[in-house]
Chain A
Amino acid sequence: MKAYILRRLLIMLPTFCGISLIVFLVLNLAPGRPGAQQQSTDLASDLRGQSTQESFQIFREQFSLDKPILFNSRFALEPAELEHLLKVSARLIPATAAEQIAAREALEDFGEYGIPHLVELIGQADKTVRDNSGNEASPAASDSAEVAAARHIRDLGVYFLKLNARRPLVDPFNSAPSDELRAKNQRIDSENAEIREMSYALDAPEAEKRAILDKWQAWYGERRQRYEYSSLDKVRVFFLDTRFARYWRNLVKLDFGVSLVSREPVMDTLLSKLKYSLSLSVVSLLLAYLVSIPLGIFSAVKKDTPGDRALTVGLFMLYSLPSFFVATLLLIYLSVGSDIAWLRWFPTGGWQSQDFDQLTTWGKLKDVAWHLVLPLFCLTYGSLAALSRYMRTGLLEVIRSDYVRTARAKGLPESEVIGRHALRNGLLPILTLLGGLLPAVLGGSVIVEYIFGIPGMGLWVIEAIYQRDYNVIMAVQLSSTILVLVGLLLTDLSYALVDPRIRYQ
């Protein structure tokens, strides 16, 4: 049995990897980027208000949005490519506003990989400017077009160099960093502070610009080695310095990152939300089985009687009723908060009353149960039809078999025949259904949680989807997948409980 569970868990691993890859690709290849509204599109204002730009850049780095998605080949960047992008972003080449923004984003995203080329380009441009500028006092007036372009590229280059030279802190959300980590981060921070000083305003005197440019050359000279990649480095960068690799590294550590909206660790929120969704789903499934098994037995025993037919038709109607329709109706007609309610029996929604904390344990239990009657009903009724139908079919097949006839022949009462002999085998088909029911119930809980305002995963994921909170969407998708996988395993194991003939080796 243990070996079987272990083997099943091992098979789950590739399945889980496949799912995480799909979720990852869907979220990352989808158009529309998170945090885009934080970015201004005006270049001139950015050159002045560089701190906003920097904070947007930090935001992108924290969520690895600046990395390529699957493979990173940025170590093989060509200087000509960067030059082209610089020209586009300076509008030296005719370009639309969208192209300009894209070029600037690409330049920002290149990060450390662009630095050697940027330094080189700035050096070249500076040389052009120095060779051709005659009048030191008012250079702009006497510039030819070529020199003006070089000057523009140089100044922009310094701007992007400054953005890219900054290094991200290591593990910034660690609440209890070790001394070593703290020291490392302090070093990075002081280095970043130094870089922050190394920029100039566009209208600064040429001498000041020269000084800063010399500083950059010296800075790069000191750190030249950091930006040279050996072939081993290149392999590492190609596969590991990507969004997917980072995502997986975090996943192994069970770290889903930080919510883009609330900036709280997703894992903590997830655990608190799981409580609601999981109890809703599990109770709903239990209820579904508890109700449909007797219903199925009833229609199998009373086969083709009016009672059986009425039950089949009734369950069929329930099966076709959309749960959001029923939930809306129930909420409007049976809840306290509605203006046109017939019976004000149930709360308007939520998980618990406001005075929950003052209640006794029994009172708390009653309060939650009172809140859950309607949501549970809406989540459960749809699966009743399929379950009881399968129960009926399964039981009817068993009832025809020889051993049941024998049981009857030896004079056992009918209740004994059905309850002890037939039922166990009749249960097998509906246990198989559990695997398919679990994703459906989890998916259905989205709508039920949305309508009844239960603060579980479903409501959370809808809000996350509206706000493009990628880390949250990813976490909910993956955790619900894990739930389904575990559910499937439990289903298989429960066969052994019901049917002693099944042995797992």
Chain B
Amino acid sequence: MTAALNSSEPDAPDQTLRASYLAQVWQRFRKNRIAVLGVWCIGVLVALAILAPVLSGNQPLYFRAQGNTQFPFFSGLFNRLLFESGVDLFFNLLLVLLPLYALVYWVIRRQSGVHFHGRYWRVLGALVGFHCALFLTASVEQLGSIQNPLYFTETVTDYHALQAQLEAQGHDVDSVFPMRPYSYRQTAPLRGLEAPSGDHWFGTDSEGRDVFARMLFGTRISLTIGVIAVGIYVGIGVVLGALAGYFGGAVDMWISRMIEVMICFPSFFLILTLAALIEQRSIFHVMIIIGVTSWTGVARLIRAEFLKHKSLEYAQAAIALGLTQTRVIFVHILPNAIAPVLVSATFGIASAILTESALAFLGIGDLTVASWGETLNTGRTQEKLWLILVPGFAIFFVVSIFNLVGEGLRDALDPKLKT
């Protein structure tokens, strides 16, 4: 007993001292079982979003007939007739390259061994950066004078019909299709508004598109909307809030007035107006609009934190050392002030998803992508139960997951708040 006490006692306080602030937060967060479950659910959602084409699509992964072997699925991933939206392109690229990324990650991890912890974010950042660069390259039609190999349109073969035809002629056909045989954009005018069945798990919408596939691909849209819109407004809010809090005086006055002006807007009106005024809006327009109209909360948080941290010793020391102001702001103070923003960003993802589906519900979204709100609106006008319940619960599920994780983060960041 005494020995155990003696051996553990010098260690314990040391351990907590050594653990960084974020690590402490993470430890508290892990104790909240519901929030951890929420994180797992987000993981599942991301997996669903990446794997969506494997779960539902009309191009076979493998097709062999008359001694001829084809893999139409993989070229189909980059066929603009099958996947038009940039969001789909991003996730399809990710689907193809994920094994490669996992390999790179594993190799680096093995090599760096114990010292890996510090490099964790850098490796992850490099991979994300590489992927985004690749995505941007892939979304341009021409690279100089060369036709982009990842940008092509090709007539889509109906392999189900082909297989049926070949089998009727007595040929042997070997094929592996995705789990559900429907693409989310494939319309079937004669099979509109079918109730859920073994064939269409969640029924079909008014144009005969498979609702299950649309829900699956809608996950991609919702997650992207949440992350990018929040990314944009956290960026704007952090910069403006940091400037206001750090410099004070006239800068603070002007930025605070700007914040005040934006707060008084019923922001949904503004978003609605902006979205409606853009002709041929894409889902990225919606993200940008949500991003540029919702930064006030983050700016206020960061401003308050900077006001507090500016006078603390470490910040004063950094200033006294003669570091550039950019360095003091972004390298020294910001990492200490960013924690409350994490909470606000998590709740922000939930509300961005809500806003996007509300816009789509009003018919002011991007009509080319599979948005949950749009399906819900079809359900409203057609009075079909499955077209209301399925997207409605999908939105509810995702929104409440992000809210749960946000609550967990808030409790973990500031245990005093938990009453």
Kindly identify which residue among B257, B268, B385, B396 contacts A18, using a CB–CB cutoff of 8 Å.
Answer: B257
CB <8 Å contact, B261 and A15: yes
Give chain A interface residues in 3-20, CB to chain B under 8 Å: 14-15, 18-19
Is A47 in contact with chain B by the CB < 8 A criterion? Answer: no
Is A199 in contact with chain B by the CB < 8 A criterion? Answer: no
Given contacts A18-B261, A32-B277, A325-B396, contact A393 B268 (CB under 8 A): no
CB <8 Å contact, A340 and B265: no
CB <8 Å contact, A325 and B376: yes
CB <8 Å contact, B268 and A444: yes
Give chain A interface residues in 456-475, CB to chain B under 8 Å: 461-462, 465-466, 468, 473
- In the complex, what residue of chain B is closest to A339 when comparing beta carbons? B383
CB <8 Å contact, A328 and B396: no
Given contacts A32-B277, A477-B269, contact A488 B380 (CB under 8 A): no
Is B266 in contact with chain A by the CB < 8 A criterion? Answer: yes
Is A446 in contact with chain B by the CB < 8 A criterion? Answer: yes
Minimum CB–CB distance for A65 against chain B, Å: 15
Please tell me the number of chain A residues within 8 Å of chain B, measured between CB atoms.
54
CA distance A397 to B279 in the complex (A): 52
CB <8 Å contact, B388 and A325: yes
Is B337 in contact with chain A by the CB < 8 A criterion? Answer: no
CB <8 Å contact, A332 and B388: yes
B350 neighbours in A (Cβ, 8 Å):
320
CB <8 Å contact, B383 and A332: yes
CA distance A446 to B419 in the complex (A): 35
CB <8 Å contact, A30 and B277: yes
Stretch at the interface among B81-89, B145-153, B354-362: B354-362
CB <8 Å contact, A451 and B274: no
Stretch at the interface among A164-172, A363-371, A420-428, A478-486: A478-486
Minimum CB–CB distance for A278 against chain B, Å: 13
CB <8 Å contact, B396 and A15: no
Is B162 in contact with chain A by the CB < 8 A criterion? Answer: no
Given contacts A396-B419, A473-B273, contact A328 B376 (CB under 8 A): yes
Is B272 in contact with chain A by the CB < 8 A criterion? Answer: yes
Is A450 in contact with chain B by the CB < 8 A criterion? Answer: yes
Given contacts A15-B261, A322-B396, A325-B395, contact A451 B266 (CB under 8 A): no
CB <8 Å contact, A27 and B400: no
Is B172 in contact with chain A by the CB < 8 A criterion? Answer: no
CA distance A317 to B407 in the complex (A): 13
CA distance A27 to B272 in the complex (A): 12
Is B192 in contact with chain A by the CB < 8 A criterion? Answer: no
Number of A-B residue pairs at CB separation under 8 A: 134
Kindly identify which residue among B264, B357, B361, B389 contacts A481, using a CB–CB cutoff of 8 Å.
Answer: B264
Given contacts A316-B400, A321-B396, A325-B395, contact A27 B277 (CB under 8 A): yes
A306 neighbours in B (Cβ, 8 Å):
none
| B390-419 contact mask (Cβ, 8 Å, vs A): 1 or 0 | 011001100110011001000000000101
Minimum CB–CB distance for A130 against chain B, Å: 48
Give chain B interface residues in 255-287, CB to chain A under 8 Å: 257-258, 260-261, 263-270, 272-274, 276-279
CA distance A324 to B362 in the complex (A): 10
Is A413 in contact with chain B by the CB < 8 A criterion? Answer: no
Is B379 in contact with chain A by the CB < 8 A criterion? Answer: yes
Is A476 in contact with chain B by the CB < 8 A criterion? Answer: yes
Residue of A14, A439, A480 ringed by the most chain B CB atoms within 10 A: A439
CB <8 Å contact, A488 and B277: no
CA distance A31 to B361 in the complex (A): 23
Given contacts A332-B388, A450-B362, A461-B272, contact A31 B279 (CB under 8 A): yes
B396 neighbours in A (Cβ, 8 Å):
320-322, 325
Give chain B interface residues in 182-240, CB to chain A under 8 Å: none
A477 neighbours in B (Cβ, 8 Å):
265-266, 269-270, 273
CA distance A313 to B380 in the complex (A): 28
Minimum CB–CB distance for B414 against chain A, Å: 12
Minimum CB–CB distance for A425 against chain B, Å: 15
Please tell me the number of chain B residues within 8 Å of chain A, measured between CB atoms.
45
CB <8 Å contact, B376 and A31: no
CB <8 Å contact, B269 and A393: no
A338 neighbours in B (Cβ, 8 Å):
383
CB <8 Å contact, B267 and A19: no
Is A95 in contact with chain B by the CB < 8 A criterion? Answer: no
- In the complex, what residue of chain A is closest to B361 when comparing beta carbons? A324
- In the complex, what residue of chain A is closest to B34 when comparing beta carbons? A313
CB <8 Å contact, A322 and B269: no
Minimum CB–CB distance for A483 against chain B, Å: 9
A303 neighbours in B (Cβ, 8 Å):
419
Is A442 in contact with chain B by the CB < 8 A criterion? Answer: yes
B385 neighbours in A (Cβ, 8 Å):
332, 340
CA distance A170 to B289 in the complex (A): 39
Kindly identify which residue among A339, A443, A488 contacts B268, using a CB–CB cutoff of 8 Å.
Answer: A443
CB <8 Å contact, B403 and A442: no
- In the complex, what residue of chain B is closest to A21 when comparing beta carbons? B261
CB <8 Å contact, A447 and B358: yes
Is A211 in contact with chain B by the CB < 8 A criterion? Answer: no
CB <8 Å contact, A480 and B403: no
CB <8 Å contact, B269 and A26: no
CB <8 Å contact, A322 and B357: yes
Minimum CB–CB distance for A15 against chain B, Å: 5
A451 neighbours in B (Cβ, 8 Å):
380
CA distance A143 to B362 in the complex (A): 60
CB <8 Å contact, B392 and A439: no
CB <8 Å contact, A328 and B380: yes
Minimum CB–CB distance for A447 against chain B, Å: 6
CB <8 Å contact, B395 and A322: yes
CB <8 Å contact, A19 and B264: yes
Is A329 in contact with chain B by the CB < 8 A criterion? Answer: yes
Given contacts A27-B273, A450-B362, A465-B276, contact A442 B266 (CB under 8 A): yes
CA distance A338 to B404 in the complex (A): 35
CB <8 Å contact, A439 and B361: no
CB <8 Å contact, A322 and B379: no
Give chain B interface residues in 305-356, CB to chain A under 8 Å: 350, 354
Given contacts A325-B376, A328-B379, A473-B273, contact A446 B268 (CB under 8 A): yes
CB <8 Å contact, B279 and A446: no
Given contacts A317-B400, A322-B399, A442-B266, contact A328 B273 (CB under 8 A): no
CB <8 Å contact, B392 and A19: no
Is A319 in contact with chain B by the CB < 8 A criterion? Answer: yes
CB <8 Å contact, B362 and A447: yes
CB <8 Å contact, B379 and A446: no
CB <8 Å contact, A26 and B274: yes
CB <8 Å contact, B388 and A329: yes
CA distance A202 to B279 in the complex (A): 38
Is A496 in contact with chain B by the CB < 8 A criterion? Answer: no
CB <8 Å contact, A22 and B278: no
CA distance A303 to B270 in the complex (A): 40
CB <8 Å contact, B265 and A392: no
27 intermolecular pairs with C-beta atoms under 8 Å apart:
A14-B257, A18-B261, A19-B265, A26-B274, A30-B274, A316-B400, A316-B407, A322-B354, A322-B357, A324-B357, A325-B376, A329-B392, A339-B383, A340-B383, A392-B419, A396-B419, A435-B263, A439-B263, A439-B267, A444-B268, A447-B358, A461-B269, A461-B272, A477-B270, A480-B266, A484-B265, A485-B264
B contact residues vs A (CB 8 Å cutoff) = 257-258, 260-261, 263-270, 272-274, 276-279, 350, 354, 357-358, 361-362, 364, 373, 376, 379-380, 383, 385, 388-389, 391-392, 395-396, 399-400, 403-404, 407, 417, 419
Shortest 8 CB-CB contacts between residues of A and residues of B: A443-B268, A320-B400, A30-B277, A325-B392, A18-B261, A465-B276, A439-B266, A443-B266
Q: Give 11 A-B pairs besides A27-B277, A322-B396 with Cβ atoms closer than 8 angstroms.
A: A32-B279, A322-B392, A332-B380, A393-B419, A440-B268, A446-B268, A446-B362, A451-B380, A465-B277, A476-B269, A477-B273
